[in-house]
Structure 1
Amino acid sequence: MPKRRIAIVIDSLAGGGAEKVMLTLANELVKQGHEPHLLVLFDHCEHHIENNIPVHFCFDKKKDKHLGSFWNTKRDARRLDCWIEALEQDIGKFELFISNLDKTNLLLSHSKVSPLYFVVHSSIEEPLKRTKKLGPIAYFKMLRAKMALNGKHLITVSEGIKEEIERVGRIVPASITTIYNPFEIEKIKQQSLEEVTGLPAGDFLIHVGRFAKPKRHDVLFKAIKQMEHDLPIVLLCNNAKKARKIAKKHGVLDRIILPGFQQNPYPWIKAAKLMVLSSDYEGLPTVLIESLVCNTPVVSTDCEHGPKEILTGDLAQFLVPRRDPQRLALKIDEALNHYPEIKQIDLLEKVDAHQVCLSYLDLIRQK
């Protein structure tokens, strides 16, 4: 296959799941002899980026803090187009644009770049329901970003998200296909064996994810309070102060360990007795797949999207209804007492980075 130049466009390179997924894709594209470029709206980076992946920052976070606002969207989209055009004059034309996250999606929905695909990393309906409670302005802002996907070529990271879009009909895409998130499975296994400082001496649970309402740390803390096993839980999250505050509110402050953001979380995941996911909604929760790759048992809420596509067969019994701390506590205790052998996971072949990369490259051939 000839060398392909691909633009991965995203809001920032903060420590979130979408950012990590796109960096994994970029790494695999390089491995396969292609030329990915990260086109990033704002200079905010918490991830390690390999030297062979070019990164280009477009806007100034201080000067452009109202980027994509209602009155300026088309103007800002033109600015982005001009910036991309200048970049292409310097490095050559991109053969594929992959758009990620709301702000980027909003701008690129008014862009002239092509071929352009929008990755839907999470549920569309669940965040809208939650934001509606915050008032009409917040709801309208999010609705604008979601409706920008109407009539566009979409990639969903799980079949559950694809089914939601087709069932609800709020968005009618030009096309829609599922390409699972890429995982460098052998690399994860190798990194999980690296030595790190700060690991607890005894058994512990682990939860990995930003401290945000959809992750439902409140449900997690209530469940911990009700467990029979008195294990501490490591929280790999981005807001230790808030985590402590909520943990104290639920009477489990003495049970949480907050080592801060970890560039390599896999030794922590591998050393844990159990991974717990308590979210209200997800897209394709990477931590569940990473945990199973590390041979770490998993208990998860049965979000509408993602977990049920990962925890299949004997592992499906460890899916718990959302927002039910008592059931979550019981299932955690059950998993700690006995967990089935983690054998070949059906989904791993579909999420292997090499295969996912080929699926993205196929988009170029289709145009």
Structure 2
Amino acid sequence: MANSWQRLAIFIPSLNGGGAQRLILKLANGFVERGYCVDLVLAQATGPYLPEVPETVRIVDLKASRTLFCLPALVGYLRQNRPIALLSALDYANLIALWASGLARVSTPVVVSEHNTLSLALEHARGWHKRLLPTLMRWFYPQARTIVTVSQGVAEDLPRVTGLDGDRICTIYNPVITPDLREKAKAPLEHPWLKPGEPPVVLAVGRLVPQKDFSTLIRAFAQLRQHRAARLIVLGEGVQRPELEGLVRQFGLESDVSLPGFVLNPYPYMARASVFVLSSRWEGLGIVAIEAMYLGTPVVSTDCPHGPREILQDGKYGTLVPVGDEDRLAKAIEMAMTQEAVPPCQESWQPFEVDTVVNQYLHALVG
């Protein structure tokens, strides 16, 4: 148990987004339970997860209009509070955390964490990101105490793209499985499609962005729907909503496809769905697939880089299909619907338990 005066800081741009933000909240709560004071330092204190921050965690709002502009405020925070360690998440925030630490001239070690496959993210990046980000990471990431990646695939990709020393990189899975996850899954759910006696529901969860490739999922579902009754729910919000809604209309699926938007607690949907699908082109890990697997819902996932193959143990705990292959995806979804769901064994989700992961992060942060 840590002394109560020992302060850990976690820096992230905001609580907008998905997997990385949920990870941060679980880590913050885990650090508090170990006896640390925890500051959640945000460039902007915004986002749908803001009400989920535990009361035991102090929110520090740097009030910056953009993440880059919070650098002076972060320098001031480090000089004034001098946390025993600083954890940052996401590449741009990681760079700013390292710059702030250097400018503040404090002894606070910085641990940076990467949550996505950099090579593939850069393929879809615009502007200066594509040209400068790998160089900046190669120059400044060596100043970090440790570089954490959320999957082994991301750990292998990062040095290939940046030239970083692979020996400085360690893999720590996301803290997905928490004691309250099953309780959250039992929350009441009034969605009419998930009542007993209704056709089976295919569920997907994620931002409506090209990375998640929900257009391929909708096309696969259209094939499935031609010869069996089923429904598709996609929980999430994003820039591709108009495009995806247009695709639904194109296939005449308005009565069978629902895009309800962002849902703070997706677990009742996961627990009641017949099949969970991860259709991504790439991932850092694929948190939602772990959650669905833990709740006993059959998982069908693309074999995208990186994460799903690690999570599903080469197909042992779910079905893997090629990225962008709507025919194979449709067949895998139908097969998962017709097979009896098998409760997950503990070895399938133990690496993602919050206690395991919190201990690993504390080792990286404070030794």
Same fold (TM > 0.5): yes
State whether residues 124 and 146 of structure 1, in contact with CA within 8 Å, keep that contact through their aligned partners in structure 2: no
**Partner residue, 1:195:** 188
Measure the CA separation in 2 of the matches of 1:168 and 1:15. Answer: 24
Q: TM-score, normalised to structure 1's length? A: 0.87
**Partner residue, 2:231:** 232
**Partner residue, 1:115:** 109
How far residue 101 of structure 1 moved from its aligned partner, in angstroms, is 1.6
Amino acid at match of 1:25: L
Correspondence 1:25 to 2:27: yes
Measure the CA separation in 2 of the matches of 1:339 and 1:313. Answer: 20
State whether residues 185 and 293 of structure 1, in contact with CA within 8 Å, keep that contact through their aligned partners in structure 2: no
Amino acid at match of 2:230: L
Q: Structure 2, unaligned stretches of length 5 or more? A: none
Correspondence 1:37 to 2:39: yes
Alignment of 1:259-278 (within 5 A): 259-278=260-279
Measure the CA separation in 2 of the matches of 1:354 and 1:148. Answer: 33
Identify if the C-alpha distance between structure 1 residues 160 and 342 changes in structure 2 by more than 3 Å, giving closer, same or farther.
farther
Measure the CA separation in 2 of the matches of 1:302 and 1:117. Answer: 29
Alignment of 1:8-87 (within 5 A): 8-47=10-49, 48-61=52-65, 65=66, 67-68=67-68, 77-86=71-80
Task: Give per-residue Cα distances to partners, 1:42-100, cap 9 Å, x unaligned.
Answer: 12120122222111110332xxx4x53xxx7xxx53442123323x1xxxx31111111
User: What SS does structure 2 have at the residue aligned with 1:111?
Assistant: helix
How far residue 250 of structure 1 moved from its aligned partner, in angstroms, is 5.0
Measure the CA separation in 2 of the matches of 1:116 and 1:245. Answer: 45
Identify if the C-alpha distance between structure 1 residues 346 and 167 changes in structure 2 by more than 3 Å, giving closer, same or farther.
farther
Identify if the C-alpha distance between structure 1 residues 44 and 232 changes in structure 2 by more than 3 Å, giving closer, same or farther.
same
Q: 336-345 or 226-235, which moves further after superposition?
A: 336-345
User: What SS does structure 2 have at the residue aligned with 1:186?
Assistant: coil
Identify if the C-alpha distance between structure 1 residues 199 and 111 changes in structure 2 by more than 3 Å, giving closer, same or farther.
farther
- The percent identity for this pair of structures is 27
Amino acid at match of 1:163: E
How far residue 323 of structure 1 moved from its aligned partner, in angstroms, is 1.0
What is the Cα-based RMSD across aligned positions, in Å? 2.4
Q: Structure 1, unaligned stretches of length 5 or more? A: none
Measure the CA separation in 2 of the matches of 1:355 and 1:255. Answer: 40
Identify if the C-alpha distance between structure 1 residues 156 and 340 changes in structure 2 by more than 3 Å, giving closer, same or farther.
same
Task: Give per-residue Cα distances to partners, 1:163-222, cap 9 Å, x unaligned.
Answer: 222455533367111111112433111111111333523221110001111000111111
Q: TM-score, normalised to structure 2's length? A: 0.87
**Partner residue, 2:358:** 357
Correspondence 1:177 to 2:179: no
Measure the CA separation in 2 of the matches of 1:336 and 1:106. Answer: 45
Measure the CA separation in 1 of the matches of 2:318 and 2:76. Answer: 52
